[in-house]
Amino acid sequence: MKRILLIATGGTIASSESAEGLTPALDVEQLVAYLPEMQSLCQLAGVSIMSIDSTNMNPKRMGIIAQTVAQYYDAYDGFVIAHGTDTMAYSAAALTDMLRHLNKPVVLTGSQIPMEAPDTDAKKNLSDAIRFACENIRGVFVAFDGIVIEGGHAMKCRTRSRHAFESINFPVVAQMQDKTVQYTKDIEQSAFWHAMQEKSQQAFAVQPELCTDVFVLKLFPGIGTEIFDYIKKQFRGVVIESFGIGGIPDENPNLLTKIRELAQAGVAVAITTQCLYEGVDLDIYAVGKHLAEQPILVAGTMTTEAIVMKLMWSLAHFDTLADIKAYIESNNT
């Protein structure tokens, strides 16, 4: 029987009504008590490491989650993290880099409705996550509303609906049906299928450090150049959400010049898109080709959540822009 550790961090799943609105209140023992049937599936234990609304999640707390997995790594076969939904995609993306050479499943889940509510989705989501954590696979995943998503491709796309999360630019890993795990055909036919089953030959390690000197800039028609001068003075990295497939204005104003100035000042400039699907390709339009001539990092099909966390992790662990570029662009799918 597999040994699974539930790590509680707060979120809607653990919230109760208060005079000020929903606020995290349940600890891990109370969450486990709602799922007595899980005891016949696995040896389920739990630890509460924080009790926060996930709006208050930050890089330091993400590091605590990673360090908790590392602390109990040898004692358990899989890990489930009960997390608020608002920043779950950021935490999942961060953990994919923090947990190096992971050979076990780490599954994040939460709910749109508190566990105590009669119509809650928390019981199903948590049960699904625990079942998936019993699989003989490795990696970081998000389990929500009957689907399992690779951690670096999860995005919260709806604020109220139960199907809050989607898998962006990557196949859904599995569907949870009739209390069973059913891997999708797209995954079974992909290189990822073998990657999540083959064990890493390198020793597991945790590297939770993140550099928070990162700015996210969403372009809009009429944006000025002053913000680029500010970024150059204040930040080590910037993620620019470009137009469409990778368009950056090159006249009125000429932002290519400002991007070149950022790079020359040692700022890591990552280019992503405001569009959810299909990613960046700088070989289509002239404005994209002009951008590709600059010393930039191309986010490919990564979500904004994924590229932000990967850039934070890279800035904390590499000394040169060349190394950061090599790491990010070799992991940008």
301 is a catalytic site residue: no
Cα–Cα distance between 88 and 85 in angstroms, integer?
A: 5
**Taking a C-beta distance cutoff of 8 angstroms, is the pair 130, 108 a contact?**
no
Name the token pair of 10.
């707060």
User: Going along the chain, which residue ranges are E strands?
Assistant: 3-10, 15-16, 23-24, 43-52, 78-82, 99-100, 105-109, 139-144, 147-150, 154-156, 165-167, 174-177, 180-183, 205-206, 214-218, 237-242, 268-273, 297-298
Which candidate in 12, 68, 87, 96 is catalytic?
Answer: 12
Q: What burial class does residue 237 get, using C-beta atoms within 10 Å of its C-beta: 0-12 exposed, 13-18 middle, 19+ buried?
A: buried
- Pairing type for strands 99-100 and 205-206 reads antiparallel
Cα–Cα distance between 196 and 105 in angstroms, integer?
A: 9
Q: Which residues belong to the active site?
A: 12
